[in-house]
Structures are given as C-alpha cells and as structure tokens.
Amino acid sequence: MQADYDPYTVSCLRILWTDPDMPHFTIEYSANLDTRVDMGEVVEIVRKAAVETGIFPLGGIRVRAIRCEHYAIAAQQHPRSSENGDRA
C-alpha cells in the first residue's frame, strides 16, 4: 500500500464496522483508488489488526472491500465515474 495519498484520495476510503460480536468491516472505496491502493493488502491489514486486538471472536471477523463505480468528492465540481476513465 502506498503512503503518498493526497487528501482527495483519503476522503474516498471509508471503513464501516457494524457489531462488536460480529465484527464485519466493510471498506467502501472509489474506483479511482484501484491504481493507487492494493485493496487485497488493505483488507489483510484490517483483518490482522482486528485479530490482534483480542476482543473479537475469530470466527466472526469479516473484512470486505466494495468498489464504488460512481462517486463525488466534495472538493470537486463534477461527479466522477470509472466508466469515463476519470481519476481524482
């Protein structure tokens, strides 16, 4: 995973955690991150971190990354879509 994110890129990555007894982590990310971030590595980092806390039941930990094809970033004037090849 690269560490040189611009503020617009970071704002497109959101992690949702639902219930402490069923720790399912869902990472929603904008399509423009595919060329910048290895999402397989991101989900593995989140999984390892959840395991290392020792507070979650191991059988309940789930980490998923969901790519969002269409997105808008507050600092931009127009919505972006991976269909037209735009990159933030």
Six token digits for residue 51: 């395991």
pLDDT (tens digit per residue) in 20-30? 677 888 888 88
CB neighbour burial string for 11-30, b if at least 16 within 10 angstroms, e if fewer: ebbeeeeeeeeebebebebb
Does pTM surpass 0.85?
no
Which residues, in sequence order, are CB contacts of 68 under 8 Å at separation 6+? 28, 29, 30, 31
DSSP code at position 1: -
Q: What angle do CA 50, 52, 53 make, to 5 degrees?
A: 70
pLDDT (tens digit per residue) in 38-79? 999 999 999 999 999 998 888 889 999 999 998 887 776 655
Mean pLDDT (the chain) is 75
